[in-house]
Structure 1
Amino acid sequence: MSSVQYRTLVRANYRQLSQSIQGFKPRREQNFLVAEIGKVLLGHYDAARRILVAEAGTGIGKSLAYLQAGIPWARLNNKTLIISTATLALQEQLINKDLPLFQPHCEPAFTFTLAKGRARYCCRQRLQDLVQGKSQISMFEAADALTPAQQTQLAGLWQALQTGDWAGDRDSWPEPVENALWTQIQTERHSCQPQLGHSQCPFHLARAELDKADVIVVNHALLLADLSMGGGIILPEPENCLYVLDEAHHIAHIAREQGSARLGLRSARRNLEQFNKQVPQLAAALNDDGQNAVNRTQQALQQLIPSLTELYKQLQSAQRAGDLTPDEQDCLRFAAGELPGLLTHALTALKDEHKQLAQGLSRLQSELAEALKRQPGNSAVSAAMAAVSLQQLHTDEAGSLCELMLKAVGPKHTPPARWLEQSKTDIVLCATPLAVGHLLEQWCWSRAAAVVMVSATFTALNDFSYFRRSVGLRADDGSQYLRLNSPFDYAGSRLIIPALGCEPQDAGFDALLSEEIPRWIKGETATLVLFSSYRQMNTLAKTLRDKGHSLLVQGEAGRQALLELHRMKCDGGQPSVLFGTGSFAEGLDLPGHYLTNLIITKLPFAVPTSPVEEAMAEWINLSGGNAFMQLTVPEASRKLIQACGRLLRTETDQGRIIILDRRLLTRRYGPALLNALPPFSRET
């Protein structure tokens, strides 16, 4: 493929698209984004590392830009374009609007589809066995353990699957399927055995469609799950993919979640005891050749179950003795990732015992697969395989927890966050990697054909450094960075910081808000008030309602229902006031007359209350840094930009933002936060 051929296609597609859309207006920033993506893809900056990080403000049209630049390049190079998003709303926009809009005007032609994880699809064999009342070695030992309503629903699912009226994915079934029931029929990685037959398996039919698609839309969690397993499991191999990561500022957080592990000691022991009771049924499904695998599995269980029991008792004793004391949230974080000797010794043994169990289960699964070859359609064997696969999944998770808890960390490397959680019924061991940049480099950056990351909020305090560190990129590694301002008329809207008598940390701040909020909503038709906590929001909602104010409060109805009520009131000329917290500060789209008055009660400083946040701040301070300036302030800057971004959603929108937090003017970090905001007309 020549660069001339590629550029010619991009220009021709643009002409067709612009001529077909009535009232089409060229956007200079969007065209510049298309051009820069093209340069990176063609290797003009670095042929060995085709990575672009592009911050593009609201209104530029990011999605249409990366479709115009990415699809022709991927098609001409025989690559698959993977578009990954953080939110369902953006996935729906791409699948239902942007891709269908561009498809008729694009050469080469392309197909597209939406990818979902295995757990969103039912296992045809498990559903059939459960409906027909055949032996189930699972939570439901037999079909008569199901309620009549569950049996009716399962029968409907099975009938629709047989007739082709249902594709087998949970999302397309018109009625909710409760989690406890769905887990009995969902597809799982270990139970996807070739011997069970895949010709009619909903997941594998969907997977086959992915192989045919030129463009695949996916969410970040599924993408990272696939990459963490080496890639090519659900999606194509990274070397054959152009990745576009939209809303990519979420990637580091989701990568940490992907690498996390948990082990509830009592629940794990109960699961193993239940499985141990089922082993004789597993043995009955095998001939004499499989008894060695059965014996090996039983021996591992007989070691592991007492070890879990003993560790639980030891931790309880240590808590009673005051050696391990959880905090008010029943959580005990191990400072600097250092484990007490008790845990180190016990987890070393557990790691080896889980490894022995995993080997036994693998042998057992192989023997069952051979038995199914000899007896195709044997429901007892297929049920046994499903039970073993579920136990393999639990064992893998427990092994990962042991690995992460015991992982040795060098002096210059960030240790994982490690902690335990105490509940009334269990003690749960938890671990999360803090530094995930090396994982992303290993999984994706170093392997992908090309990567384009886009977001409206990459920079913090006008700099890419915070994001770059979080995802493992370096300033000198060949990756390119681009920042494009929104075309919106920010100067036509006002940013007001009132002179207030106290600041958020003062005792009288809630009382001050109860006076200030009515002042700033008076005479306004469409208001959104953003709070830093549910407690404060609910307290103020009660106070203002007692004064006669009509409010729509997050949590009192579903998000979509609240927004629909808000729009109806605005359309009817009635004043409407929405109260929301952090989740309303991102992704909320209320254009035009649906939002003209935005009130931010407090700067979005995250208090490091979770073990992961505490560990991250601790490590920065231990390394000689300043966690507040390096972590808290940059993250607050990004969140404040997102919150202010709710006001202007189209080029003709106007309104005002009131920030009821004087720290923007009184603290040394204030000017940096203010200067990072779009150029609103400021009033103080």
Structure 2
Amino acid sequence: MADAVAALLAKKTFAKTEPQHSSAKANSAAQATAKATPTATEKPIKPLVLEAGTGVGKTFAYLVPALLSGQQVIISTGSKNLQEQLFYKDIPALLELLQISPKVALLKGRNNYLCQLRLEQQLNGAQSLDERVLDDLLRIQLWSASTSDGDLGTIASVSEQSNALPLVASSKDSCTGKRCAHYDSCFTRKARQKTLDAKLIVVNHHLFFADWVLKDTGFAELLPDADALVFDEAHQLPDIAVSYFGQQLSLNSLTRMLERMEKLYEADFRDTPQLGELIRRLMTRLRDWGMNLTNRDLQDWRMVLADKTLASQSWQLLDEFHSLERVLLGNVGRHDDLDDYFEKWQELTGKFNHFLACDNPQAAYTVEPSKDLPLLRMAPIDVTKECQALFNADKKWVFTSATLQVNRSLAHFSKGMGLKDCDELILDSPFNYQQNALFCVPRQLGDVRSNSDYQFTRWLEICLQAINAAKGRTFILFTSHRMLEKTALALQGRCHYPMLVQGTASKQSLLKKFRQLGNAVLLGTGSFWEGVDVRGKLLSCVIIDKLPFVSPDDNLYRARANALSQRGGDPFRDISLPQAVIALKQGFGRLIRDEQDAGVLILCDNRIVNRDYGAAFLNSLPPMARTRDMARVVHFLEQIK
């Protein structure tokens, strides 16, 4: 019934057919969204913002009407896992059930596809490769002859952690377009072509925004101009929008570009020694400069520019960029690859110049750690205007997730997305949380911000009590890597169940092992708070160290907080609190995944019960039974067989 209710709700967004409702909830849902169905004299359909709790059935709710509407619909997800679940499992099941066969397409970011040119280049330079990498490249070559789509995620003969995969993945930096010998068979190009006339297109949020940015700047489009767009896992959109309406420059991408130039110089431009000299000198200076940023641990880019030594080195580096640009310009026309490198180097130089100018007071400029060399990022503190231009266009928009509301209101999400005039609806989960879930904030907790020995000792006692009562089958979720590492070290030898720690293997490998073991304890930070689906008795307990407030030292938060304070706003109430509420709901969402699940959520942060703002968290969580008594927790867990 829950699936049918949600399906009728979503159908109003795509078609004008009047559904027949068979429950009070169905009637109220239909009435709440009837405004979204225009008549000949009404205005265009408003965007729909919908929180649908776990178990409501929102996936089928939007897929069924999308498939039956006859319109072109784009479904955008927040994770690759959900994207693949929709395309390979849910959509085929519905097509068989409905006995229809519209064209459906799956499109991922280009780095998910094999680049035949890069594979060829890597094999040509095989003598310099590690033996294991070469072995994987040969497996990829064998697979490439049989794959129809070139999706690297589907290759079973090579580990997802293989160092060979990044070497052959399609990338914008290395793409030569129509000049490529593999252009006609290019997997990335063919994947994009399939979307043009497909009725249902499954993408992810990053790809959607990348497409919009390309359209806005006048470059080639990735996606067709569809009739309707559905964003599942929509709670991720605000952060993703910030990254795409901002700008970033990877020092590693600069290094890779210089390495490609050096190979071209060695092969075809030895008659231009100045080119080789500039490339080698710039590679050395860029690496030294990047390592200096890493060693100084400066996260605020404005602090880098305020340091006279670092600022001077940065401007000298830009001079070297321009010198190389001039030499490349002087050789344009001699080689197609050099012409391509010149255009890309101009773009990278422009980005670096933008960061040195640092002239946008309404943005946060940060230096972020990355593999090898750091990443420079500029993030606007407010993207509502950009979102208004995008989401208020003349088409149908649906934003849905299990975690959008804060204190029973969707206003925080709608406002952040620039949705001034939209329909909003909250559909609560049909699960019996009062009976199947217990929420505990243990007594005798110290101040979580104190980092005292007492607090940590109490924390370990609670973890061990719960783990033993649950016979493993526990997630421990952290708000910081430092606390995770400290806890993992302290639990060694004291936890008598298999312990899986984030960072020791890939996320998917850890989850696979957790399911296989059946009695494991998994310790994780941010990436394990959402997008993780462990059903049944394999997971009976989720322990969270503290409320997931953003760090006050976070550069983007500080920039937003300062701007909001200047307008008379309250940064804690308007920024920090809503973000923490949604993050906590995501953490809890790992526990109860279907109507048969049962388990305990333990939060070791008493601010939720002794601070006024705690009510916002409690009102946003499902209606679980509550306790502060660990003895009741132990008894509850022991009953889950």
What is the TM-score when the length of structure 1 is the normalising length? 0.73
State whether structure 2 residue 234 is matched by structure 1 residue 248.
Answer: yes
Letter in 2 for 1:461: N
Q: Which runs of 5+ in 2 are unaligned?
A: 1-10, 629-641
Which of 342, 350, 356 is the matching residue for 1:399? 350
- Could you tell me how far 1:465 is from its partner in structure 2? 3.0
Partner of 1:642: 586
- Deviation string 1:328-365 (CA, Å, 9 cap, x unpaired) is 73334427x99799999999999999799889979987
Match of 1:380 in 2: none
- The one of 470, 477, 488 equivalent to 2:431 is 488
Equivalent position SS for 2:239? helix
Larger radius of gyration: 1
Change (3 A) 1:27 1:115: farther
Map 1:38-53 → 2, pairs under 5 A = 40=36, 42=38, 47-48=43-44, 50-53=46-49
CA RMSD of aligned residues (A): 4.8
Determine the C-alpha separation between the residues in 1 that align with 2:294 and 2:14.
64
Aligned pairs for 1:539-554 (under 5 A) are 539-547=486-494, 549-554=496-501
CA separation in 1, counterparts of 2:237 and 2:282? 37
Distance 2:370 2:543 in 1: 39
Q: State the distance in 1 between where 2:468 and 2:133 align.
A: 52
**Deviation by residue 1:551-595 (Cα, 9 ceiling, x = unmatched):** 52332455445445544555xxxx654443343332332333233
Match of 2:595 in 1: 651
> Cα gap change, 1:542/1:456 in structure 2, threshold over 3 Å: closer, same or farther?
same
- Does the alignment pair 1:470 with 2:457? no
Among 637, 649, 660, which residue is 2:604 paired with? 660
Q: 1:5 & 1:228 partners in 2: Cα distance?
A: 26
8 Å contact kept, 1:608–1:617: no
Deviations along 1:79-138, one digit per CA (max 9) or x if unpaired, are x3111111122112212221012112447641222212233334444544665x5xxxxx
Q: Tell me the CA shift for residue 195 of structure 1.
A: 4.4
Query: Deviation of residue 393 (structure 1)?
Result: 3.3
1:22 — aligned with what? none
Structure 1 residues 309 and 93, CA gap change in structure 2 (3 angstroms): closer
Find 1:331's aligned residue among 299, 314, 324. 299
2:222 aligned residue: 235
1:389 aligns with 2:343: no
CA–CA separation in structure 1 for the residues paired with 2:345 and 2:494: 54
Change (3 A) 1:364 1:217: farther
1:347–1:402 CA contact under 8 A, matched in 2: no
Give the alignment's TM-score, normalised by structure 2. 0.78
- Partners of 1:617 and 1:221 in 2: CA distance: 26
The SS at the match of 2:206 is helix
Counterpart position of 1:432: 379
1:124-523 alignment runs, 5 A limit: 124-128=116-120, 131=123, 133=124, 144-146=127-129, 154=137, 157-158=140-141, 161=144, 163-165=145-147, 167-173=149-155, 174-176=157-159, 182-183=166-167, 186-188=170-172, 191-196=175-180, 198-230=183-215, 233=220, 235-237=222-224, 239-263=225-249, 268=254, 275=261, 278=264, 329-334=297-302, 367=333, 384-386=335-337, 388-390=339-341, 392-403=343-354, 406=357, 409=360, 415-420=362-367, 429-442=376-389, 444-447=390-393, 449-474=395-420, 478-492=421-435, 493-506=437-450, 507=452, 508-523=454-469
Instruction: Determine the structure 1 residue equivalent to 2:4.
Output: none
The letter for the 1-side match of 2:170 is Q
> Do 2:136 and 2:164's aligned partners in 1 also have CA atoms closer than 8 Å?
no
Of residues 425-434 and 62-71 in structure 1, the stretch that sits farther from structure 2 once superposed is 425-434
1:64 alignment partner AA = F
Q: After superposition, give the CA deviation of every residue in 1:45-86 in whole Å (9 maximum; x if it has no partner).
A: 97446411111111101110011222333x2x4xx3111111
- Superposed displacement of residue 398, structure 1: 3.7
Residue 58 of structure 1 corresponds to: 54
Gaps of 5+ in 1: 15-25, 134-141, 286-293, 320-324, 369-383
Letter of the 2:229 counterpart: Y
What code does the residue aligned with 2:395 have? Answer: A
**CA distance 1:611–1:304, shift in 2 (3 Å):** farther
For the pair 1:104 / 2:50, whether they are aligned, the reply is: no
Indicate yes or no: 2:566 matched with 1:628.
Answer: no
Greater mean alpha carbon deviation, residues 617-626 or residues 261-270 = 261-270
Task: Give the residue type in structure 2 aligned to 1:170.
Answer: L
AA aligned opposite 1:222: L
* Mapped contact 1:437–1:471 kept (Cα < 8 A): yes
Match of 2:535 in 1: 591
Match of 1:17 in 2: none
Provide closer, same or farther for how the CA distance between residues 407 and 244 of structure 1 changes in structure 2, counting only shifts above 3 A: farther
3-state SS of 2:185 partner = coil
2:211–2:221: 8 Å Cα contact kept in structure 1?
A: yes
Residue identity matched to 2:446: C
- Whether 1:115 and 2:107 are equivalent positions in the alignment is yes
Q: Residues 30 and 233 from structure 1, CA distance in 2 versus in 1: closer, same or farther, beyond 3 angstroms?
A: farther
Task: Tell me the distance in 1 between the aligned counterparts of 2:310 and 2:492.
Answer: 52
TM superposition shift of 1:435 = 2.1
* Displacement after TM superposition at 1:38 (Å): 7.7
| Deviation for aligned residue 1:504 | 0.9
Report the Cα distance in structure 2 between the residues aligned to 1:363 and 1:626, rounded to whole angstroms. 55
Distance in 2 (CA, whole Å) between partners of 1:108 and 1:362 is: 56
CA distance, structure 1, for counterparts of residue 374 and residue 505 of structure 2? 34
Q: Secondary structure at the match of 1:186?
A: coil
Q: Distance in 2 between matches of 1:678 and 1:186?
A: 43
Residue identity in the other structure for 1:226: D
Q: Percent identity?
A: 27
Rounded Cα–Cα distance in structure 2 between residues aligned with 1:124 and 1:509: 55
Q: 1:481 to 1:511 in 2, by over 3 A?
A: same
What is residue 623 of structure 2 aligned with on the other side? 679
In 1, the alpha carbon distance for the partners of 2:524 and 2:166 equals: 32
Matched residue SS, 1:598: strand
Separation in 2 of the partners of 1:102 and 1:313? Answer: 56
Structure 2: distance between partners of 1:4 and 1:462: 23
Q: Give the letter aligned to residue 473 of structure 1.
A: L
CA–CA distance in 1 between the matches of 2:494 and 2:309? Answer: 57
